[in-house]
Amino acid sequence: MASNSHQNVTTTTRKENNAKRKTTTTRTTTTTTRELNEANRGELLRDYLRRCLYDKSTGYFNQNGQSPIGKIGVDSGEASLPFHLMADKEEYTETLAQKWTQLGKQWLTPVEIFKPHYANAIARYLIEETKKNHTASLKVIELGGGAGTAAVGILNYLRANEPQIYESMKYCSVDVSEVSLSMQHDAILKAKHENVWHRTRKPVDVTMQKCKNTEESWREIVQKHMDGSTENCFVLGFEILDNLVHDKVIMSVKTGDWMQARVKREREGKDRVEFYEPITDEEIKRVLDKVVEVRKSLPIWTHLSDAVKRMFKKRDVSSTADLTRNQTIYLPTGCSFALQNLREFVPGHRLVFADFDALPEAKMDGLNAPVVASQGTGGKTYDRNSYLEGVVGSSDVFFPTCFDTLKLLNENKGIHLTTKEFMEKYSERGACETKTGYNPLHNDFSNTRFYLS
C-alpha cells in the first residue's frame, strides 16, 4: 500500500534513492489445491501481486512483523526536519540523505518527510470543505495509513485549531497490514486521540470484491465507526494507489488482439513466467476500455506512428518462438475494485488521494509500468528488472497513477492538481522553506498529484 517518495530527479525518494520494492519465486511446501491450479493455469497478475504485497505472513507489507514504512524521530507529531535552519536545497538534500541512512529496510513517505506540515495542509482542506458544506460532523476513513503519521498530524491540527469539529468527529484507519494497523494504534494512543480514532478489527484488502470478509469489514466501518452514515465522509489515501494490484495486457501489432497476462511456475524449478491468453476477465475488459478512452486522442492503436510505437511496444516475452512486438499496458484493476467497494459501502463519500503520476526510473516496458525494488538497511534500494524475480514478498511493486483514468473510473467526478498547487493553497506559508526560499514541499515532488472529489 502504497507509499513513499519518488520525487523528481533531485531528491531522495522511495524509488530513486532509497525505497520500497518487491519480487517473486516460491518455496517447496505441501502441494495445495491452489498450487496445483496455479501450476496448470497460472493466476492473473493482480492475484499474483496480491500475494506478493498483501499476504498476511509472506507479503511485502507483513514480512517478519516489521513495516517497510520508516519514521523520522519517535513522535509522530514532531517536526521531521528544521527547514528554516537549512541554508539551501543542497543542505536539505544532505540532511534528508542522513535520515535515510538511519533507517532499517524501510523508506520514507512525503507525509513523514514534511511532518507535520503535509498533514496540516490536509487538515486545512478538510476544515474548509466541512464548513463550506455545513456538514454536521467530520468523518474520515484513511486507507493505508502506514506509521500513523498522517492520522496523528491531522488530528493534532484539528484538536488545536478546531476543537468543536474535533470533539464530534470520527476517524477510522483501514489497512491491509496488521503491522501497520498496530503502528497506527500506538501512535494514536501516544498522541491521546483514542476517543475519536478507530481501526478495523482485522486487516482489510480494499481491492477485494464479492468476498464475505471484505463485506463484513466495510459494514463494520460504516455501522460501528461511522454511526451508519457516510454522507460527505472523506476517504484519504496517501501513496496507496501505487501499491494497489494491477493487471497486464499486451496487444500484438501483428494481429491487433489484446491478451491478458497470467503468471505461473515453470515446469522445472521454482522460477515464474508470464504467459498470455485472450481476455476473459470482465474487469480487465472494463478497465482497458477506460484506459483506451482516456488515450483516445492518440491514433488508433494498430496505426500508431513509428515514434509512438517505439514508446509503447515491447518484445513478446510469452516464450513463443515468434517474438512479435506488442503494446503493453498495466491496468489499475485493484483501484477500480476499491472504488466500486467505496461506492457500494460508503455512499456519499469524497476522495482525497495523493500519489505519483510518473515513475521515470521503471525498468519494465509498457504504459504505467511499475518499479520493482527491494530494501536494504539504511534505506538503500535495489531495483529489480521484474516482479518475477526473487522470493515472493521480498520486494515492493509500485505503479504510477494516470489521474485521468482514475477520474474516469470514479464516474468522471472530481479534479486533480499538482502537489505544488495543492500545497500552495493549503500549507502554511514558508513552513518548509530554507533560508534561500527553496521549498522542497513545492518543488521536489513534480511527479506527484492530488485527486479531490
C-alpha cell recorded at residue 118: 503535509
CA dist 330 and 372 (Å) reads 14
- Position 103 confidence tier, pLDDT thresholds 50, 70, 90: confident
Question: Scanning the structure block, which residue is given the C-alpha cell 491478458?
Answer: 260
Nearest to 55 by CA among 18, 22, 19, 15: 22
CA-based nearest residue to 20, from 4, 34, 39, 36: 4
Distance in angstroms (rounded) separating the CA atoms of residues 214 and 43: 21
Q: Which pLDDT does position 19 carry in this prediction?
A: 35
Q: What is the largest CA-CA distance in the chain?
A: 68
Q: How far is CA 441 from CA 261, 297, 351, 453, in A?
A: 38, 33, 21, 22
Instruction: Look up the pTM and report it.
Output: 0.85
Averaged pLDDT for residues 395-411: 95
Residue 329 CA, distance from chain mean position: 18
Which of 371, 358, 375, 354 is closest to 441 using CA atoms? Answer: 354
The x, y and z cell numbers of residue 2, run together, are 502504497
Query: Which overall architecture, per CATH, does domain 63-244+335-452 show?
Result: 3-Layer(aba) Sandwich (3.40)
Please say if the pLDDT value at position 439 is more than 90.
yes
With a cut of 50, say whether residue 124 has pLDDT above it: yes
Confidence of residue 77 (pLDDT cuts 50, 70, 90): low
Q: 29-38, 99-108, 311-320 — which is least confidently predicted? A: 311-320
Q: Is 294 buried (19+), middle (13-18) or exposed (0-12) by CB count in 10 A?
A: middle
What are the boundaries of each domain within the chain?
63-244+335-452, 247-331
* Measured distance CA(421)–CA(380) in Å, rounded: 31
In the prediction, which pLDDT does 139 show? 96
Beta partners for residue 391, in sequence order: none
Confidence of residue 33 (pLDDT cuts 50, 70, 90): low
Distances, alpha carbon 39 to alpha carbons 31, 33, 267, 273, 401, in Å: 10, 10, 8, 11, 31
How many Å from the N-terminal Cα to the C-terminal Cα in the chain? Answer: 21
Say if residues 175 and 236 touch (Cβ distance below 8 Å).
no
What pLDDT score was predicted for residue 27? 37
CA distance 264 to 123: 45
More confident: 36 or 104: 104
Distances (CA, A) of 68 to 21, 25, 57, 299, 347: 9, 20, 14, 42, 32
Q: What is the pLDDT of residue 37?
A: 54
pLDDT at 158: 98
pLDDT at residue 21 greater than cutoff 50 = no
Hey, what's the cell of 17? 534513492
Q: What confidence tens digit (pLDDT) does each residue in 191-245 have?
A: 999 999 999 999 999 999 878 888 899 999 999 999 898 988 999 999 999 999 9
Is the pLDDT at 334 greater than 80? The verdict is: yes
Q: What is the mean pLDDT of residues 30-37?
A: 52
CB 400 within 8 A of CB 242: yes
pLDDT digits (tens, 9 = 90+) for 274-293: 999 999 999 999 999 999 99
